[in-house]
Structure 1
Amino acid sequence: MKLFVGIDVSSLTLDVCFLDSDLQVLKQCSLPNDLHGASSIKELILECHQNVAYESILVGMESTSVYSFHPAAFLNEDPDLKGLGVKVVVQNPKAIARFKGLFEEDKTDKVDAYRIADFLRFDRFNLSLVKEEKYLALQRLTRSRYQLIQQMTECKQHFLENLYYKCNTLTRDVDTSVFGAAMMDLLSESLSLDDIAAMPIEDLAEVLQQKGRGRFADPTKLAKAINKAARDSYRLGKVMQNSVDVVLGSYALMIRTIKEQIKSLDSAIERLLEAIPESQSLLSIPGIGKVYTAGILAEIGQIDRFEDQAKVAKYAGLYWKRKQSGNYESPRTSLTRTGNHYLRYYLVEAANSVQRHEPVYREFYLKKYREVPKHQHKRALVLTARKLVRMVDVLLRNRQLYAPERSV
């Protein structure tokens, strides 16, 4: 006899259903989603096991954003439940939704908890062990860094958009990046184009050197380019110019702030990586640094959560569905849009870096690049990322360092 505990999680409640192998509902209740509610579930599991010595006990719930984290971690780490061999499953909501679609019934929290328990009974779920705390801590850092990168990209786009209003020829005439500290200070100050154009080249070069702390190799040449851009650009009215200057100043401040926050997160990520020994395995791969290593490890967690490298690839969404019917086999297979998009992002970005540093991966990338006439880079990069998954899986499972393939 087996016991299946389905939990429908929301921000406020935990709706629980206890179901045995004979489809007998032992108990259904609604508890608060807090420490007291999770403790009550634990006591009910212990009580049920005391009455009937179950062969196995499975506790399942959907992965519902941050709401399922605390109950899953509590039930998975509890020593009393560990002593009974209780397994906690956090399942993809899409799999549960497809299973529920087989039944014509109402959509309520009580019914959902019952169907989650019923889904566990069929033994068709992926047993995903809850990640250890160090991986979850690393995930908070890497995902926050990812979000900050997205915000900074958006801020830079808006900065360039407003910069075009102020000086539409600047990016054409000036070779250096406009997002350097010196350039952003100069462009976000309340200096009109007429002020910049009228400023002597020597004075403008001196201002650039002061703001750039002497880092410009040829400040006079840069000053001439900025002066030319200021003379060639359209002029704005005073009201419009004031508004654009305020916007540029705001975005310049936001970009500087985000850069500082990213540096702070990088330092925290570096410290945490030292507590994860297997990080050395990924760092040994040419082209993979601490950011990519942290992102991959944070999303994969313990590699033992996956049976093999194919499961890792499918979890990341690097998976192509086969289409076959009778004697027909479709030559076109599309990449699935499911899976962990954070892990897919880090694997694809890491693959792009590895193929620039490792000859074997570069050769594979170019081979896939030449196979099709359209979308060559994207296709080749995704296939290279799929190849990278195999190496990542081997290195993490064996706790070994990367050794390049030898030429014969």
Structure 2
Amino acid sequence: MCLHVFPLPMNVMEETESEIASKWRDNGIKRGVGVSRARQLIKAATDTIGITVGLQMARQELQILLGQYDLLHAQLEQSVAGIEQLAGQVPGAEQMMSVPGIGLVTAAGFIAEVGDISSYQHPRQIQKLAGLNLKENSSGSHKGKTQISKRGRPQLRALLFRCVIPLIAKNAEFQGLHQYLRTP
């Protein structure tokens, strides 16, 4: 919002602290937009070396970049709305999102990678699809390390890893399971 209203440091220095704070509030920013924050912005604008030549083109380039950002942000919101609508039609998506720590993007990504969950008879099938099944690296009398096979979908494996991190942080059942599996 500051880049839209005050694209250059010289535009910040033209305003007073109270004018900056009131413009923040007028543009819908409610938290952390007091006079002290405006004072910090003015101090940073006065201390910056900034550009002094080509200000017209710098302002135009900022407007172009901000326009692209606004367009991408609107497209992202539109995509998320479409995903929400489609996720409501998929059986099992609402139950997945009811688990604390699982959001819309995680549930949609899982369904996109796995498909219909009812077509699997056992959870180990999904585990194998992701390449998370265990294999032992041994030959003859040599007994090697046991590790995951990684013979599966790498995107699904990465999605499951990224979804487990917040699950461990937010879900007590998963915290207990994680603690149990990590203790020797």
* TM-score band w.r.t. shorter chain: 0.7 to 0.9
Offset of residue 324 of structure 1 = 0.8
1:324 aligns with 2:143: no
Match of 2:160 in 1: 347
Deviation digits for residues 298-330 of structure 1, max 9, x if unmatched?
Answer: 221123544532331232243454311223233
**Match of 1:224, as an amino acid?**
R
Counterpart selection for 2:10 from 166, 185, 194: 194
Q: Matched residues, percent identical?
A: 19
- Report the Cα distance in structure 2 between the residues aligned to 1:216 and 1:324, rounded to whole angstroms: 59
Counterpart selection for 2:42 from 216, 227, 242: 227
Offset of residue 207 of structure 1 = 2.3
Offset of residue 370 of structure 1 = 8.4
- Report the Cα distance in structure 1 between the residues aligned to 2:148 and 2:58, rounded to whole angstroms: 45
Offset of residue 242 of structure 1 = 4.7
Shift of the 250–352 alpha-carbon distance from structure 1 to 2, 3 Å rule, reads farther
Match of 1:310 in 2: 124
Shift of the 320–260 alpha-carbon distance from structure 1 to 2, 3 Å rule, reads farther
Shift of the 194–275 alpha-carbon distance from structure 1 to 2, 3 Å rule, reads closer
Please tell me the root mean square deviation across aligned C-alpha atoms, in Å: 3.0
Q: Is the 8 A contact 2:102 2:167 kept in 1?
A: yes
Q: Is the 8 A contact 1:209 1:219 kept in 2?
A: no
Q: Counting strand residues as a fraction of each chain, which structure ranks higher? A: 1
Match of 1:252 in 2: 66
Deviation digits for residues 43-97 of structure 1, max 9, x if unmatched?
Answer: xxxxxxxxxxxxxxxxxxxxxxxxxxxxxxxxxxxxxxxxxxxxxxxxxxxxxxx
- Report the Cα distance in structure 1 between the residues aligned to 2:56 and 2:90, rounded to whole angstroms: 51
**Match of 2:160, as an amino acid?**
L
Shift of the 228–343 alpha-carbon distance from structure 1 to 2, 3 Å rule, reads same
- Report the Cα distance in structure 1 between the residues aligned to 2:88 and 2:48, rounded to whole angstroms: 52
Q: Within 5 Å, which residues of 2 pair with 1:144-293?
A: 182-186=1-5, 189=7, 192-211=8-27, 213-239=28-54, 241-293=55-107
Q: Which runs of 5+ in 1 are unaligned?
A: 1-181, 372-408
Q: Which runs of 5+ in 2 are unaligned?
A: none
Q: Counting helix residues as a fraction of each chain, which structure ranks higher? A: 2
After TM superposition, the score normalised by the length of structure 1 is: 0.39
Q: Is the 8 A contact 2:17 2:42 kept in 1?
A: yes
Shift of the 364–210 alpha-carbon distance from structure 1 to 2, 3 Å rule, reads same
- Report the Cα distance in structure 2 between the residues aligned to 1:183 and 1:354, rounded to whole angstroms: 36
- Report the Cα distance in structure 2 between the residues aligned to 1:362 and 1:322, rounded to whole angstroms: 27
3-state DSSP of counterpart to 1:328: coil
Match of 1:38 in 2: none
Shift of the 250–362 alpha-carbon distance from structure 1 to 2, 3 Å rule, reads farther
- Report the Cα distance in structure 2 between the residues aligned to 1:260 and 1:270, rounded to whole angstroms: 15
3-state DSSP of counterpart to 2:100: coil
Q: Is the 8 A contact 2:137 2:144 kept in 1?
A: yes
**Match of 1:279, as an amino acid?**
A
Deviation digits for residues 183-221 of structure 1, max 9, x if unmatched?
Answer: 34235x3xx32332343212222222223x252444312
Q: Within 5 Å, which residues of 2 pair with 1:389-404?
A: none
**Match of 1:257, as an amino acid?**
L
Offset of residue 229 of structure 1 = 1.3
Shift of the 330–272 alpha-carbon distance from structure 1 to 2, 3 Å rule, reads same
- Report the Cα distance in structure 1 between the residues aligned to 2:120 and 2:32, rounded to whole angstroms: 52
**Match of 1:310, as an amino acid?**
R
- Report the Cα distance in structure 1 between the residues aligned to 2:105 and 2:140, rounded to whole angstroms: 47
- Report the Cα distance in structure 1 between the residues aligned to 2:177 and 2:58, rounded to whole angstroms: 48
Offset of residue 347 of structure 1 = 2.1
- Report the Cα distance in structure 2 between the residues aligned to 1:186 and 1:330, rounded to whole angstroms: 63
| Greater Cα radius of gyration, structure 1 or 2 | 1
Deviation digits for residues 163-190 of structure 1, max 9, x if unmatched?
Answer: xxxxxxxxxxxxxxxxxxx234235x3x
Offset of residue 244 of structure 1 = 4.4
